[in-house]
Protein backbone atom coordinates (compact mmCIF):
# COMPACT_ATOMS: atom_id res chain seq x y z
CA UNK A 1 0.00 0.00 0.00
CA UNK A 2 2.81 2.39 0.94
CA UNK A 3 4.80 1.60 -2.20
CA UNK A 4 1.70 2.25 -4.31
CA UNK A 5 1.24 5.71 -2.77
CA UNK A 6 4.92 6.52 -3.31
CA UNK A 7 4.67 5.45 -6.94
CA UNK A 8 1.55 7.58 -7.42
CA UNK A 9 3.29 10.64 -5.97
CA UNK A 10 6.32 10.08 -8.19
CA UNK A 11 4.11 9.90 -11.25
CA UNK A 12 2.31 13.07 -10.19
CA UNK A 13 5.58 14.95 -9.73
CA UNK A 14 6.77 13.70 -13.11
CA UNK A 15 3.60 15.05 -14.69
CA UNK A 16 4.06 18.41 -12.99
CA UNK A 17 7.66 18.65 -14.13
CA UNK A 18 6.71 18.06 -17.73
CA UNK A 19 6.33 21.15 -19.86
CA UNK A 20 5.15 22.07 -23.32
CA UNK A 21 7.28 23.05 -26.29
CA UNK A 22 6.28 24.11 -29.79
CA UNK A 23 7.99 22.60 -32.82
CA UNK A 24 6.91 23.20 -36.43
CA UNK A 25 3.51 24.44 -35.34
CA UNK A 26 2.74 21.32 -33.25
CA UNK A 27 2.64 21.08 -29.48
CA UNK A 28 4.26 18.09 -27.80
CA UNK A 29 5.17 17.14 -24.24
CA UNK A 30 8.80 17.61 -23.27
CA UNK A 31 10.03 15.47 -20.42
CA UNK A 32 11.85 17.07 -17.52
CA UNK A 33 15.06 15.28 -18.48
CA UNK A 34 15.13 17.15 -21.81
CA UNK A 35 16.58 20.63 -22.08
CA UNK A 36 14.44 23.45 -23.47
CA UNK A 37 15.34 24.44 -27.04
CA UNK A 38 17.85 27.27 -27.34
CA UNK A 39 19.32 26.71 -23.87
CA UNK A 40 21.67 23.86 -24.56
CA UNK A 41 24.70 26.08 -24.26
CA UNK A 42 23.62 27.34 -20.85
CA UNK A 43 24.70 30.91 -21.53
CA UNK A 44 22.34 31.61 -24.43
CA UNK A 45 19.62 33.34 -22.36
CA UNK A 46 22.23 35.53 -20.66
CA UNK A 47 23.74 36.40 -24.03
CA UNK A 48 20.35 37.34 -25.45
CA UNK A 49 19.52 39.49 -22.44
CA UNK A 50 22.90 41.20 -22.72
CA UNK A 51 22.39 41.91 -26.41
CA UNK A 52 18.90 43.31 -25.78
CA UNK A 53 20.27 45.52 -23.00
CA UNK A 54 23.11 46.75 -25.20
CA UNK A 55 20.70 47.43 -28.06
CA UNK A 56 18.49 49.42 -25.70
CA UNK A 57 21.49 51.46 -24.58
CA UNK A 58 22.29 52.19 -28.21
CA UNK A 59 18.77 53.47 -28.79
CA UNK A 60 19.00 55.65 -25.68
CA UNK A 61 22.26 57.08 -27.04
CA UNK A 62 20.57 57.68 -30.40
CA UNK A 63 17.74 59.47 -28.62
CA UNK A 64 20.10 61.85 -26.81
CA UNK A 65 22.04 62.40 -30.05
CA UNK A 66 18.82 63.35 -31.83
CA UNK A 67 18.05 65.85 -29.06
CA UNK A 68 21.47 67.46 -29.58
CA UNK A 69 20.90 67.47 -33.35
CA UNK A 70 17.52 69.15 -32.89
CA UNK A 71 19.13 71.90 -30.79
CA UNK A 72 21.71 72.46 -33.52
CA UNK A 73 18.94 72.62 -36.13
CA UNK A 74 17.13 75.22 -34.03
CA UNK A 75 20.32 77.25 -33.84
CA UNK A 76 20.68 77.02 -37.65
CA UNK A 77 17.11 78.22 -38.12
CA UNK A 78 17.54 81.25 -35.88
CA UNK A 79 20.86 82.00 -37.58
CA UNK A 80 19.10 81.98 -40.96
CA UNK A 81 16.50 84.41 -39.63
CA UNK A 82 19.29 86.56 -38.16
CA UNK A 83 21.04 86.56 -41.53
CA UNK A 84 17.90 87.85 -43.25
CA UNK A 85 17.31 90.61 -40.72
CA UNK A 86 20.82 91.84 -39.94
CA UNK A 87 23.39 90.37 -42.35
CA UNK A 88 21.80 91.49 -45.58
CA UNK A 89 21.12 88.02 -46.91
CA UNK A 90 18.55 87.94 -49.69
CA UNK A 91 15.00 87.34 -48.59
CA UNK A 92 14.41 84.44 -50.99
CA UNK A 93 17.74 82.80 -50.21
CA UNK A 94 17.25 83.18 -46.47
CA UNK A 95 13.69 81.91 -46.67
CA UNK A 96 14.71 78.79 -48.59
CA UNK A 97 17.55 78.13 -46.15
CA UNK A 98 15.21 78.55 -43.19
CA UNK A 99 12.62 76.28 -44.81
CA UNK A 100 15.27 73.64 -45.44
CA UNK A 101 16.34 73.88 -41.81
CA UNK A 102 12.73 73.41 -40.71
CA UNK A 103 12.56 70.26 -42.83
CA UNK A 104 15.66 68.99 -41.04
CA UNK A 105 14.02 69.80 -37.72
CA UNK A 106 10.84 67.98 -38.75
CA UNK A 107 12.92 64.96 -39.77
CA UNK A 108 14.67 64.89 -36.40
CA UNK A 109 11.32 65.21 -34.65
CA UNK A 110 9.99 62.19 -36.55
CA UNK A 111 13.07 60.17 -35.62
CA UNK A 112 12.73 61.16 -31.96
CA UNK A 113 9.07 60.08 -32.01
CA UNK A 114 10.15 56.78 -33.55
CA UNK A 115 12.73 56.25 -30.81
CA UNK A 116 10.13 57.02 -28.14
CA UNK A 117 7.74 54.47 -29.63
CA UNK A 118 10.50 51.87 -29.90
CA UNK A 119 11.67 52.36 -26.32
CA UNK A 120 8.03 52.14 -25.26
CA UNK A 121 7.75 48.68 -26.80
CA UNK A 122 5.84 49.64 -29.94
CA UNK A 123 6.66 48.63 -33.48
CA UNK A 124 8.50 50.96 -35.80
CA UNK A 125 6.72 51.54 -39.10
CA UNK A 126 8.60 51.65 -42.38
CA UNK A 127 6.57 54.68 -43.47
CA UNK A 128 8.48 56.84 -40.97
CA UNK A 129 11.77 56.32 -42.81
CA UNK A 130 10.07 56.99 -46.15
CA UNK A 131 8.78 60.30 -44.76
CA UNK A 132 12.30 61.17 -43.60
CA UNK A 133 13.70 60.40 -47.05
CA UNK A 134 10.99 62.53 -48.67
CA UNK A 135 11.81 65.47 -46.40
CA UNK A 136 15.55 65.18 -47.11
CA UNK A 137 14.99 64.99 -50.88
CA UNK A 138 12.59 67.92 -50.81
CA UNK A 139 15.16 70.00 -48.96
CA UNK A 140 17.72 69.23 -51.67
CA UNK A 141 15.27 70.43 -54.29
CA UNK A 142 14.54 73.63 -52.38
CA UNK A 143 18.15 74.68 -51.93
CA UNK A 144 19.34 73.33 -55.29
CA UNK A 145 19.52 76.76 -56.93
CA UNK A 146 21.20 78.34 -53.91
CA UNK A 147 23.85 75.64 -53.63
CA UNK A 148 24.47 75.66 -57.38
CA UNK A 149 23.42 72.10 -58.17
CA UNK A 150 23.50 71.05 -61.81
CA UNK A 151 20.45 70.13 -63.83
CA UNK A 152 21.36 66.44 -63.64
CA UNK A 153 21.35 66.50 -59.85
CA UNK A 154 18.01 68.30 -59.83
CA UNK A 155 16.46 65.74 -62.16
CA UNK A 156 17.77 62.87 -60.05
CA UNK A 157 16.35 64.46 -56.89
CA UNK A 158 13.02 65.05 -58.62
CA UNK A 159 12.84 61.44 -59.81
CA UNK A 160 13.73 60.23 -56.32
CA UNK A 161 11.00 62.42 -54.84
CA UNK A 162 8.41 61.01 -57.25
CA UNK A 163 9.48 57.44 -56.49
CA UNK A 164 9.38 58.06 -52.75
CA UNK A 165 5.96 59.67 -53.05
CA UNK A 166 4.66 56.63 -54.93
CA UNK A 167 6.13 54.31 -52.32
CA UNK A 168 4.54 56.35 -49.53
CA UNK A 169 1.16 56.15 -51.27
CA UNK A 170 1.45 52.37 -51.59
CA UNK A 171 2.34 52.07 -47.91
CA UNK A 172 -0.64 54.25 -46.98
CA UNK A 173 -3.01 52.09 -49.02
CA UNK A 174 -1.60 48.92 -47.46
CA UNK A 175 -1.89 50.31 -43.93
CA UNK A 176 -5.50 51.33 -44.58
CA UNK A 177 -6.32 47.84 -45.84
CA UNK A 178 -4.67 46.28 -42.79
CA UNK A 179 -6.59 48.61 -40.47
CA UNK A 180 -9.90 47.79 -42.18
CA UNK A 181 -9.14 44.07 -41.95
CA UNK A 182 -8.31 44.33 -38.25
CA UNK A 183 -11.49 46.31 -37.65
CA UNK A 184 -13.56 43.69 -39.47
CA UNK A 185 -11.98 40.90 -37.43
CA UNK A 186 -12.59 42.81 -34.19
CA UNK A 187 -16.23 43.42 -35.15
CA UNK A 188 -16.72 39.73 -35.91
CA UNK A 189 -15.18 38.75 -32.58
CA UNK A 190 -17.47 41.16 -30.72
CA UNK A 191 -20.51 39.74 -32.47
CA UNK A 192 -19.49 36.19 -31.62
CA UNK A 193 -18.91 37.09 -27.98
CA UNK A 194 -22.24 38.88 -27.63
CA UNK A 195 -24.74 36.43 -26.10
CA UNK A 196 -27.95 35.98 -28.03
CA UNK A 197 -31.13 36.54 -26.00
CA UNK A 198 -33.18 33.38 -25.44
CA UNK A 199 -36.26 33.04 -27.59
CA UNK A 200 -39.56 32.90 -25.79
CA UNK A 201 -41.40 29.61 -26.12
CA UNK A 202 -45.13 29.32 -26.06
How many angstroms separate the CA atoms of 71 and 99, rounded? 16
User: Domain boundaries in the chain?
Assistant: 50-123, 125-185
Strand partners, 30: 19
Three-class DSSP labels, 71-128: HHHHHHHHHHHHHHHHCCCCHHHHHHHHHHHHHHHHHHHHHHHHHHHHHCCCCCCHHH
- Taking only the tens of pLDDT, the chain with its 202 residues reads 545 554 655 555 455 444 444 333 333 444 444 444 444 445 568 888 889 889 889 988 999 999 999 999 999 999 888 888 888 777 888 888 888 889 889 989 989 998 888 888 888 788 888 888 898 888 888 887 777 778 888 889 899 999 999 999 998 898 888 888 888 887 777 777 776 655 655 5
What SS3 state is found at 7?
A: helix
Closest CA to 124 of 135, 134, 112, 136: 112
How far apart (Å, rounded) are the C-alpha atoms in residues 165 and 25?
Answer: 40
pTM for the model: 0.61
The residues that bridge with 21 in the sheet, in sequence order, are 28
pLDDT in the model for residue 19: 41
pLDDT in tens, 106-129: 989 989 998 888 888 888 788 888
25 three-state secondary structure? coil
Beta bridge partners of 28: 21
Span 131-142, pLDDT tens digits = 888 988 888 888
Cβ of 34: how many Cβ atoms within 10 Å? 11
The number of residues in the chain equals 202
Q: How many CA atoms lie within 13 A of 75 on its CB side?
A: 6
Amino acid sequence: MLSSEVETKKNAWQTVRECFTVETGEVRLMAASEKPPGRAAGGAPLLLRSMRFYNRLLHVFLGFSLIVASLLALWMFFYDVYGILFLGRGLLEGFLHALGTLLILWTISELISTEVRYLGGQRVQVAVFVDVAIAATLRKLLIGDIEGYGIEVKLVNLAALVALGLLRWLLTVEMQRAAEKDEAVATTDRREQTPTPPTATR
